Structure 1
Amino acid sequence: MVGNVKRGFPCVHPASLLAALLLAAPPATAVTPAELLGNGEYQRAFETAVGRGDALTASRAAAAMTEYRAGGRDWTARAVQAARQAVTAAPDSPDSHLALGSALGLQARAGGYTLGALNTAQQARAALDRALSLAPDRADIQAVLAEWHAGAWVKAGVFSGGNAERARTLATRAARAAPDSVFVQGHAGISLALLKDPQARAVLTRAAALPATAALDRDVQAQVRTVLGTLPATD
């Protein structure tokens, strides 16, 4: 590595100097599954989370692939499988049950008007009810459960187990509790829109106007704008 000495300093080959600098540099910080999820890299977030044994983030990422990237049934099945693993690993975690309820809800929605889909929807509700019992003040859980009730009510009425008043109460409570959350405002507003509630436009408009701090926020806002476009024009 050392050549001729000039003015008392050894002459170092540039390539050797670069190698020494690279060896001395601190290692780059690995991107976490949660960071990838926040950046909207849902497939990579899922793969990284699976590799690290993070079932909860894996389920969230797979669900996001279904919901926001049109990932299809395979991604929904991955979301459900990972969420079940998360519940097994942490049976008292509201986040695990929320993930399971959300994933099963997506699966039921894709199943159409079948008995199998109805059974899956009931499992989704049970998981969301469990999440809310573990964390009764969580606005995000309230908003997701509100959307379940609203969607079930619109789809099959009393036969679905959905309850319009329960949906309206949960959505309103969630929207008031978390006025600065794009996720909560978005899902509460969608719930109210499904019920054709006059509050829907104001809640959805707020969700669309809030600053997005992550790609997931922007994806929720894209959904919100689509729903806003379906609402009847105001006077």
Structure 2
Amino acid sequence: MRQIVLDTETTGLSAEGGDRIIELGCVELYARKLTGNNLHFYFNPERDSHEDALKVHGISNEFLRDKPKFAELSEEILDYLGDAELIIHNAAFDIGFLNKELERVGKKPLKAYVSNVIDTLAMAKEMFPGKRNSLDALCDRLEVDNSGRTLHGALLDAELLADVYINMTRGQEALLIDAGDASTDTQAVVVQVDLSTYVLSVLPANAQELAAHDDVLTQLDKSSGGKTVWRQIQAA
């Protein structure tokens, strides 16, 4: 399955209030492995960032002046995201901003172009109830190195979230063969054993074990009203 870990940086907190996306970072996973086929854009938001937002992402208004507008790259973005499953931390925030940007260029909401959205914040709250579940907190808890994250950045945060997601869902593949093994030249060797050559010893229960077994059946008889299946089998 093709999955895209996505993050945005914005001029502020309110898409409905006119705030815009200034950075989009996407990291591709295929079969739970990083492919290197990433997408990263800065945008001219046609407005200045709020001071509080600047403290978070550190992307100056001057830096964004000559960057392309979202409308100029919307088709490329949708082609890249097409039919993928998105993985986003606090998905409602990023999806809300992306939907507003798409609305401005006459496009359908994002759900029309992707197969599904996974919110890792919702996952984390279920897995770690009552604990802090910010991206930094999850990196610390799951031993993902975030030492290079002094400021928020869409691509860096998407890369960190990819590692966090893989760690959070590692238990799902515990009973599966590592997909990486399929790409090696090593082939499994199947050894057939003729079990007819083995003679298995039969160890009968001793008197103490039989008495203990009978005691258990007596207890079951009392609790089941004489409907113990093992008693019925013995009587047959």
TM-score normalised per structure 2:
0.25
Larger helix percent: 1
TM-score normalised per structure 1:
0.25
Greater relative CO, 1 or 2 (CA 8 Å, sep 6+): 2
